[in-house]
Amino acid sequence: MRSGELEERVVRKAISQYCLAAALLTLTACSGGGGGGSSSGPTQPAVSQADATRFLEQSSFGPTPAAVTQVQQMGFAAYLAQQFATPATGYSGFSYLTSNQAVGCPTGSASTCARDNYSLFPLQMQFFRNALTGPDQLRQRVALALSQLMVVSGIEVNQPYGMADYQNLLLNDAFGNYRQLLYDVTLSPPMGRYLDIANNAKANPAKGTNPNENYGREVMQLFSIGLQQLNADGTPKLDGSGNPIPTYTQPTIEGFSSVFTGWVYPPRQGAPVFPAPVNYDGQMVPVAAQHDENSKLLLNGTTLPAGQDPATDLNQALDNIFNHPNVGPFIGKQLIQQLVTSNPSPAYVSRVSAVFADNGQGVRGDLKAVVQAILLDPEARGDANTDPNFGKLREPILLITAFLRGIGGATQSDGEYLRNVSAALSQNVFDAGSVFNFYPPNYPLHGTSLVGPPFGIYDPATALTRADFIVKLLTSKIAPDATVTNATGTSLDLTAWQTAAADTGTLVTQINQLFFHGAMSGALQASLTQTVNAIPAADTADRAGAALYLALASPEFQVER
């Protein structure tokens, strides 16, 4: 395909549409096409093609024709049951390495030592390979969502084996109980490093030191209950003056910070010591002599008695958090935002919160039930959602993977180029800028009352980088990096699309069905049709490339609805 001609044909149009896109991407003007629900009747499938495609946009790293057919044939409940039972495609091949880079590197890696052993580069490549081809698509999507709620960043944990351990933890707990997840995250050595639980000493009046408050604060603010007391529907509770009611105070932070004292990295051999050297394998262990044994103020006026051991304090404190009424709406709403829509209705949040409180069998915190409730909710299902406030901007990771998985065929990548593009789009996998993730869940959309979290990393520069990424892959193969072991590069297999391109209507229909679940606007369909018809019918490569570029660089695709 002639890259220069294609770029001349479509890039100018994309740039000129940037201001329009900025308005469209507020979600209010990206509706287009479709009715409000799946068709029913004896001649219709149990799950429509459009709804199956939307479902996979929300529950995987992008629909493929085979996956759409599978969902239609199995139905949502059976497909979810299969995904819940599919073992994790974890991160492997990473092992302990001293955190002191000056000690030396593994044999044979001198020229790429820092990249391969003291950065997340190899793990990030594996992430994209897993996302593109792993059979456990739902587990991986939920784990990615959890990684952006319970952040551990490569800013501190920059060794692949450490971050791999943490991400495997999230994969394993993605469909378990939130209480177990909270426990495992709390005692994770990477979290111990990132938010200073590891080697956190009790107060020492003689030295004027106090326990580190990082985790004591963030476990409440970000991982469980948030800053304000919430109703079950996620709206804030108000006091008599109409002001939000705080969930905790500084003495509560101090109480939890004292709970998290005395824990150290697991020893590689022998008994634990304080302070302990960094080791990310396993769970942190207690050193009782450094644990604060005083009484501790927790949430809702609960006080832990003095004299308890580290494990007892820890479990009782986590129970105190877990049973707070905020957890269901706070965590539930953010999972909805990650999987389905940035602005769920209070009713949607309330339904999910109710399932968090009770999965129907008297169990609180069942994440499998919560994920199922999110994906099968009436606001998530149907051929299209006509609410103008519904939808979310595709974050860079999901834009990249939906593009490649949708192209299909023999499309392949070793993950290296995809990792680089994601970083250029301000979402360097597992390397968020702070504990607040790449973007906050309440990032406001200018000129509206809506929020759009991924817009926190969307600007004119990244908008054009998104478009450039799409056209670059449509027009060229990314050569393998000779310094990367077993590198294959990245390439698209456009054979099926070029076959369809012989007929304009067939090509536009197929793009509409797979990438837009049949909801592409009439205006965009007309633009694609006009562009394709202007290219000779025999030039199927350019016809397919131009149509795919215009479609996937459009605001309608950038915002998932």
Segment-wise mean pLDDT, segments of 10 residues, the chain, 561 residues: 47 39 41 38 71 98 98 98 97 90 70 91 98 98 98 97 98 98 98 98 95 98 98 98 98 98 97 97 98 98 98 98 98 98 98 98 98 98 94 98 98 98 98 97 95 97 97 97 95 98 98 98 98 97 98 97 94
Is 473 within a domain? yes
How crowded is residue 66: how many other Cβ atoms within 10 Å of its Cβ? 9
Same domain, 307 and 427: no
Same domain, 533 and 443: yes
Same domain, 250 and 284: yes
Same domain, 401 and 493: yes
Is 125 within a domain? no
Per-residue tokens: 295: 């009484």
How crowded is residue 311: how many other Cβ atoms within 10 Å of its Cβ? 15
Q: Residue 43: what pLDDT?
A: 46
Token pair 């209070």 is found at 346
Query: In this structure, which amino acid lies at residue 208?
Result: G
Same domain, 438 and 529: yes
Is 51 within a domain? no
CA distances (Å), 129 to each of 356, 358, 408, 439, in order? 32, 36, 14, 24
Token pair 């351990």 is found at 165
Is 173 within a domain? no
Residue 340 belongs to domain spanning: 327-376
Same domain, 312 and 334: no
Is 500 within a domain? yes
Same domain, 305 and 405: no
Within its chain, how far is the Cα of 126 from the centroid? 16
Within its chain, how far is the Cα of 346 from the centroid? 22
Rounded-to-integer distance, Cα 495 and Cα 407, Å: 9
- Does residue 221 contact residue 227 with C-beta atoms inside 8 Å? yes
- Does residue 161 contact residue 192 with C-beta atoms inside 8 Å? no
Look at residue 297 and give its three-state secondary structure: strand
Same domain, 357 and 431: no
CA distances (Å), 306 to each of 199, 205, 295, in order? 21, 18, 4
Same domain, 254 and 347: no
Q: What is the pTM assigned to this prediction?
A: 0.93
Which residues, at least 6 apart from 321, have a Cβ–Cβ distance to it below 8 Å?
182, 219, 220, 224, 225, 299, 327
Q: What torsion do the CA atoms of 431, 201, 258, 205 make, to the nearest 10 degrees?
A: -130
How crowded is residue 32: how many other Cβ atoms within 10 Å of its Cβ? 19
Is 156 within a domain? no
Q: Is 530 exposed, middle or buried (0-12, 13-18, 19+ CB in 10 A)?
A: exposed
Same domain, 420 and 450: yes
Total domain count for the chain? 3
User: Which residues pair with residue 228 across a beta bridge?
Assistant: 246
Q: Residue 107: what pLDDT?
A: 62
Is 343 within a domain? yes
Please say which residue of 322, 341, 358 terminates a domain: 322
Rounded-to-integer distance, Cα 67 and Cα 80, Å: 12
- Does residue 436 contact residue 521 with C-beta atoms inside 8 Å? no
DSSP tag of 481: P
In this structure, the strands spanning 490-491 and 412-413 are antiparallel
Is 385 within a domain? no
Same domain, 481 and 428: yes
- Does residue 473 contact residue 1 with C-beta atoms inside 8 Å? no
Same domain, 370 and 412: no
Q: Residue 108: what pLDDT?
A: 61
